[in-house]
Structure 1
Amino acid sequence: MLFSSLALAAFLVGCGDSSTPTPTQNGSTTNEAGSSNGGETTSEKVETRLVTIGTGGASGPYNILGTTLADIYSTDFGINSRTQTTGASVENINLLEQGKIEIAFVMSDALSQALAGEVSFKEPIKNVSQIATLYPNVVQIIAKKDSGIETIEDLIGKRVAVGDQNSGVEVNARTLLAGHGITYDQLKVDYLGYAEAADGLNAGTIDAAFLTSGLPNASVLELSETLGITLVSIDPANVDDIAKEHPYFISYEVPAGTYGNDQPIKTAAVPNSLVVRTDMSENDVYLLTKKFYESQEKLVNSHQAANEIPALDAQSGFIAPVHPGAQKYFDEQK
């Protein structure tokens, strides 16, 4: 199974009681355990009127899938749901913690670090709960076809875009490079998002770029058709060694033909997670989770990366604690 190598925490389930409801930040009422109406009944109405979904770069799968999900929520629940284009994982987690968005797409490595208060997070993040494990984010290191860059070690001394600063792309780029004994001091680093990195490769201002996302990435696809690119490989043995310390990394192959490549390209991947604010009501998260799983066909139609979202019965080993509202939905499906 795709996620069997991940050493992740088990579901953490909140238990409701019948204490007096108190208002949450989004205006709905919950008891101290977060259960609407003591967890006894379920309303079909989403109480919060605004659901903002943190995504990532405009051309990436996060934004495409997030836009589709926001449209579904707006149409089916009659609420104002919208996406917010961000620097992706790290920024999204911080926005959740600050109560500025309700849902976010994030990479599992950044989520793990947020819960531990490591790397880009000065202290553990508390206001984040998980409702789904998503498709794998595939590390796609792209270079011009005639660049001579074929392996990650060939990046030394080159001008390399590593993603927006502190984004999930940049976090895993830094980790993978370090796992190969390569530091930023050995590169000429540019902090560029998907579209900017593609422009830089096209203009010749950078030599290579990390564009970590679901497959296919629109920016990479366009480059493969207009510029001619090489997908830089990462040795699976090296990925396995890195995973001993960072267990969210898995080996992955970019299938032949994805970007006109004749052969599969070995690389690394990190699963994505769909997360919500912990302080959202159980009933709201129950309904949002239910609608997410019932909308898989529409999500796949918007971006094929959704094909690799694990089925409901394979949702295990979450990185963050499961939100009680999502757990309620999972329990109903047993």
Structure 2
Amino acid sequence: MNIATKVLAVAAMAIAPMTVSAQELRIGTASLGGAYYPMGQALSNMVNKHAEGYTMVPIVTGGGAENPRLVDSGEVELGIAPASLSFLAVGGKGPYKEALDITAMGQLHSSILHMVTLPGSGIESIEDLKGKKVAIGPAGGGTLSMTRNLFKLYGMTLEDIVPSFLSYADGFSQLSDGNVDAAFALAGYPTSAVMQTGATKELKFIELGDAKMAELTEMFPYYSNVTVPADVYDTGSDVVVIGSANMLIAKGDMDDARATILLEAIYGNLDDLIAENALAKQIVPKASLDLPIPLHPAAQAYFESLN
């Protein structure tokens, strides 16, 4: 290459636009078979499509109980977590030995505690679970924490059952095969693991009844009762279950500009998000102003600006 050619090449490099690689972010979800992972995929797709300069990938985790820890430690930038566990994480209570630096980015869908057995199991109530084999989700998941709280109403602990710490998919597969007597899953509805078992087996939901449900929601105000229509899982009649709102969480020190870009990509494109995941129909953006933990400052400003 002669000197003139070299000069032209250098000049071309100087005026050519520089390609800046996008920053890859991670969102903590849960095990496969529940509703968190598909929602994490949908949220990631929103970021990939609408957040200039960023990409996002969903990460399989232990679930709702682990995600606040992963966000606090910086192992993931965003996480999906129940309102109940997020509340405990901020206060350093329950399964969290110290307060975690997490903030809410916004409201997502609600999860329900699927407590499912099969007809003929002899299980009609929570007390009937004593001595039974129960799949209660991964050891770090939100199902475990809610189950502990529920058992307190009945003077029970996990020692009263034979727990199996399985993914939702594996837990409900074990129920279908008769290897466990009941399977629990804190997930949005319909959730794939439950649907797959319901495709070959008749499902029987374990319900609390009005009195115990009222007692539970009084003791734990971040829970609610949710009616699941009969056609969701072909149960013959509606079932009333325990519900918990889910939220998108981030570390408290996330940069405001980054947070705003992510919020606009997700909550500013709800129709697109619903097309990716039908659970997003449950999202009411302004409801994010009433979550039980503090909103990130950028989220506070974003949701307050909405009409």
Is TM-score (shorter-chain normalized) higher than 0.5?
Answer: yes
Question: What residue identity is the alignment partner of 2:269?
Answer: S
The within-5 A match list for 1:242-257 is: 242-257=216-231
Across the two proteins, how many residue pairs are aligned to each other?
Answer: 287
Provide the secondary structure at the position in 2 that maps to 1:53: strand
Q: 1:210 aligns with which of 172, 184, 191?
A: 184
1:320 equivalenced with 2:293 (yes/no): yes
Among all aligned residue pairs of Structure 1 and Structure 2, give the percentage whose two residues are the same amino acid.
Answer: 26
> Shift of residue 191 of structure 1?
1.2
Cα distance in 2 for partners of 1:211, 1:313 equals 28
Cα offsets for 1:262-290 (capped at 9, x unmatched):
11112211111111111111011011112
Provide the secondary structure at the position in 2 that maps to 1:157: coil
1:111 equivalenced with 2:78 (yes/no): no
Q: Give the equivalent residue in structure 1 for 2:14.
A: none
Provide the secondary structure at the position in 2 that maps to 1:206: coil
Q: Give the equivalent residue in structure 2 for 1:125.
A: 100
Cα distance in 1 for partners of 2:22, 2:35 equals 26
The within-5 A match list for 1:27-106 is: 49-76=23-50, 77-106=52-81
Cα distance in 2 for partners of 1:261, 1:275 equals 34
Cα distance in 1 for partners of 2:119, 2:277 equals 26
Provide the secondary structure at the position in 2 that maps to 1:320: coil
- 5+ residue gaps in structure 1? 1-45
Question: What residue identity is the alignment partner of 1:228?
Answer: E
Query: Taking structure 2 as the reference length, what is the TM-score of the superposition?
Result: 0.88
Cα offsets for 1:130-179 (capped at 9, x unmatched):
11122221111011222122322221221111111131111001111222
Q: Give the equivalent residue in structure 1 for 2:208.
A: 234
> Shift of residue 326 of structure 1?
1.0
Question: What residue identity is the alignment partner of 1:246?
Answer: F
The 8 Å contact of residues 65 and 299 in structure 1, kept in 2 or not, is answered as no
The within-5 A match list for 1:287-298 is: 287-298=261-272
Cα offsets for 1:86-106 (capped at 9, x unmatched):
011121111111111111100
> Shift of residue 48 of structure 1?
7.5
The within-5 A match list for 1:155-174 is: 155-174=129-148
> Shift of residue 236 of structure 1?
2.9
> Shift of residue 75 of structure 1?
2.6
Cα distance in 2 for partners of 1:195, 1:306 equals 22
Question: What residue identity is the alignment partner of 2:306?
Answer: Q
Q: More deviation in 184-193 or 206-215? A: 184-193
The 8 Å contact of residues 180 and 238 in structure 1, kept in 2 or not, is answered as no
RMSD of Structure 2 on Structure 1 (CA): 1.8
- 5+ residue gaps in structure 2? 1-19
Q: How has the CA–CA distance of structure 1 residues 62 and 150 changed in structure 2, closer, same or farther, with 3 Å as cutoff?
A: same
Cα distance in 2 for partners of 1:141, 1:265 equals 11
Question: What residue identity is the alignment partner of 1:304?
Answer: A
Question: What residue identity is the alignment partner of 1:112?
Answer: F
Q: More deviation in 166-175 or 143-152? A: 143-152
> Shift of residue 228 of structure 1?
2.1
Question: Would you tell me which structure has more helix in proportion to its own residues?
Answer: 2
Provide the secondary structure at the position in 2 that maps to 1:237: helix
The 8 Å contact of residues 133 and 315 in structure 1, kept in 2 or not, is answered as yes
Q: How has the CA–CA distance of structure 1 residues 129 and 48 changed in structure 2, closer, same or farther, with 3 Å as cutoff?
A: farther
> Shift of residue 321 of structure 1?
1.2
Cα offsets for 1:49-69 (capped at 9, x unmatched):
121111112222211111111
Q: How has the CA–CA distance of structure 1 residues 166 and 178 changed in structure 2, closer, same or farther, with 3 Å as cutoff?
A: farther
